[in-house]
Amino acid sequence: MSLTNLQVFSDTVDTVASELVAQQVDKFNAASRGGIVLRTAANRGDYASTLKYQKISGLIAERDVTSTAAVSALELVRILEGSVKLARRIGPVNLMPSDYDWIMRAPEEAGATIAVQAAQDRMADMLNTAISGFVAATLNVGATLVNDMSTATLTITGLADGAQKLGDASNKVVCWVMHSKSFNDLYKTAITGANVLFTYGTVNIVGDPLGRPYIVTDSTSLINSSDYYSLGLVSGGIVLEDNGDMRSNTVVSNLTQNIAATYQGQYSYNLGLLGYKWDESNGGRNPVIASVATGSNWDKTATSVKDCAGVIVTAH
């Protein structure tokens, strides 16, 4: 594989991987009903912040038409939500150019193979990281957003009780994210007529007559000892933004019997949770997964739990 062919290989990985991810984003967003939003962005620096107007409590009040008493003014307050940028690497992957020359295979073939694997793993990593952040932030809030089913396996009743944590806003829960064990427990007791809405790599979204789709993924962030977490997400509860900064390089090396080469890529994305702000002091810049999975690194900025990213149902 000549130097020119190595460049073709590198370009193929970048192009195909980006196209595959882009093709799946719209399907994923639609299938999850917007509970997890994947989109492109161009976030500068380590963090991205969004100012939102807080809901005014007591905006409507009774009025006494016979009174001249003074009343207190209400404040229109803006709250800050903030995401954090996460850096990721692809490879490095060792290549032996002469292998492809020997079997007379095109460099695009090797590039497309790595690209397919990279695209699937890229989406899986984003989802797993997002789940770890959501679980940490929600558990940190506590019982007002968490329904602990004690020793029970997951049931439809347990999910309903979890959604009820949002009170009259329980219908804001648009999808459930759960481990395959939790889904199978549901399937054995309650689910009929299930249909697959989306499949990509190890991520599956299944819908059923209840109306809310189930995103099934064996993320380690959904398990804690013997506990299994099922996440009820509101629309826009989790936002993942690809920063479009994919960069790669293929380097040729000598001093071996056969000329070798190594491919390596890198990119970044931002993770944000509705109703929370990444704590820049505690969590810091470019956090590792353990920091994302630490509850104290996510500050709840929403006044009401009804305006948070969602709820958790804990089963066994």
In percent, how much of the chain has pLDDT > 90?
34
**73 — pLDDT class (breaks 50, 70, 90):** confident
Using DSSP, state whether 151 is helix, strand or coil: coil
Residue 161's H or E segment, with its range, is: helix 156-163
- Tell whether 68 is covered by a domain: no
Q: What type of residue sits at position 288? A: V
Closest by CA to 129, choosing from 303, 290, 315, is 290
- Tell whether 290 is covered by a domain: yes
The most confident of the ranges 5-19, 41-55, 98-112, 213-227 is 213-227
Mean pLDDT value across residues 39-47: 70
Please, what is the average pLDDT of the chain? 81
Residues in Cβ contact with 219 at an 8 Å cutoff, skipping those fewer than 6 apart? 127, 128, 131, 132, 179
Q: Contact, 214 vs 159, CB < 8 A?
A: no
- Tell whether 66 is covered by a domain: no
Using DSSP, state whether 252 is helix, strand or coil: strand
Q: What type of residue sits at position 285? A: R
Bridge partners (DSSP) listed for residue 233: 175, 310
The two tokens of residue 176 are 């459930």
Residues in Cβ contact with 187 at an 8 Å cutoff, skipping those fewer than 6 apart? 194
- Tell whether 11 is covered by a domain: yes
- Tell whether 154 is covered by a domain: yes
The most confident of the ranges 17-26, 41-50, 85-94, 200-209 is 85-94
Place of tokens 């997002």: 130
Q: Which pairs count as long-range contacts for 250-259, CB under 8 Å and 24+ apart, including other chains?
A: 250/6, 250/7, 250/9, 250/10, 250/95, 252/3, 252/6, 252/97, 258/96, 258/97, 258/98, 259/97, 259/98
pLDDT at 12 over 50: yes
Q: What angle do CA 21, 22, 25 make, to 5 degrees?
A: 85
- Total count of domains within the chain: 1
Domain of 286, in residue numbers: 3-55+75-315
Question: Can you say how many angstroms the Cα of residue 122 is from the centroid of all Cα atoms in its chain?
Answer: 11
Q: Contact, 195 vs 158, CB < 8 A?
A: no
Mean pLDDT value across residues 11-31: 68
Bridge partners (DSSP) listed for residue 200: 203
| pLDDT reported for residue 193 | 46
| pLDDT reported for residue 232 | 95
Closest by CA to 271, choosing from 138, 128, 146, is 128
Length of the chain: 316
pLDDT at 52 over 60: no
More confident residue, 287 or 101: 287
Residues in Cβ contact with 3 at an 8 Å cutoff, skipping those fewer than 6 apart? 252
- Tell whether 70 is covered by a domain: no
Mean pLDDT value across residues 85-106: 77
| pLDDT reported for residue 75 | 59
- Tell whether 80 is covered by a domain: yes
- Tell whether 23 is covered by a domain: yes
- Give exposure, 299-309, as e/b (b: 16+ Cβ within 10 Å): bbbbeebbbbb
pLDDT at 266 over 50: yes
The most confident of the ranges 103-107, 116-120, 194-198 is 116-120
Mean pLDDT value across residues 249-267: 83
Q: How many other C-beta atoms are found inside a 10 Å radius of the C-beta of residue 230? A: 25
The two tokens of residue 57 are 């409590």
